[in-house]
Amino acid sequence: MRDVLCAALATAIIAGSAAAAADDIYVPGDADTVAGGLALAAAGDRVYVGEGIFTENFTVPAGVGLYGSGPEVSILDGGGNGTVIDAGGDGVVISGFSIRNAGGAYPDFGITVYGVTGHGGHAHYLKVPARTLVPLPDELSFEEGAAVSCGTGTAYGALRRMGLGGHHTLAVFGQGPVGLSATLLGAAMGADPRNFAGLAGMGDLVLTCTGTPRFQRR
């Protein structure tokens, strides 16, 4: 029986793919500071931070996960020196921290997410570091490129994280930009996409995330 991957594909602030092989880095342990731990990390790696107050300002590299031990015990303190975390790269995941004492004036923030706390958003132009840019193929218009970077990029990142393959059945609920992209990409990755345009028919389908689909009528 084909495996079933249960996933809710939704627009995320921070999305992207992570490498299949990952190393775990511990602070303290492998490094004394968060910045030191991140300096050891490559795309796909995970940096785990223990209890304590870490007075630092740093950038999380693309594709790296940064995990605290909980917001009550893992505290990032910017020391009033500006943005505490720059999360400008694709595939960055940050969880389990309290962030305090960023700079006291715009554009200083606890965390920079482009289009939210950083420059950009609903505008014709977006200011980002040059390292985050990718070439736009000649056959794509700027409008198509914008759609790909948002809806299609979100779906692609989710499918890569799920490890989608030819032995999977993919359930896609909703056929907006992300859902349509997930359907097309899932088929291209060899999976068997099953589309559900709305919630009306969900009572006829029961999915068990452990593997086997069961269909039942109400």
Decide which of 215 and 194 is more confident: 194
Distance CA 133, CA 155 (A): 19
Query: Taking a C-beta distance cutoff of 8 angstroms, is the pair 189, 46 a contact?
Result: no
* Maximum mean pLDDT: which of 5-19, 33-47, 195-209: 33-47
Distance CA 148, CA 152 (A): 5
Instruction: Count CB-CB contacts under 10 A for residue 21.
Output: 8
Q: How is residue 52 written in tokens?
A: 């304590």
Query: Taking a C-beta distance cutoff of 8 angstroms, is the pair 52, 75 a contact?
Result: yes
Amino acid in position 74:
S
Instruction: Indicate whether 201 pLDDT > 80.
Output: no
What is the pLDDT confidence band of residue 210, given thresholds at 50, 70 and 90?
very low
Q: How far is CA 61 from CA 4, 31, 87, 89, 201, in A?
A: 32, 16, 7, 6, 42
pLDDT of residue 170: 85
Instruction: Count CB-CB contacts under 10 A for residue 129.
Output: 12
What is the pLDDT confidence band of residue 25, given thresholds at 50, 70 and 90?
very high
Name the CA dihedral angle for 211, 213, 214, 216, rounded to a multiple of 10 degrees: 150
Answer yes or no: pTM beyond 0.75: no
User: What is the mean pLDDT of the segment spanning 26-43?
Assistant: 93
pLDDT tens-digit profile of 86-135? 876 778 888 889 888 887 665 566 666 655 556 656 667 776 667 777 88
pLDDT tens-digit profile of 158-200? 888 888 888 888 888 877 888 888 888 888 888 887 766 554 5
Distance CA 106, CA 93 (A): 24
- Domain-wise residue ranges, the chain: 3-12+134-215, 24-132
pLDDT of residue 23: 87
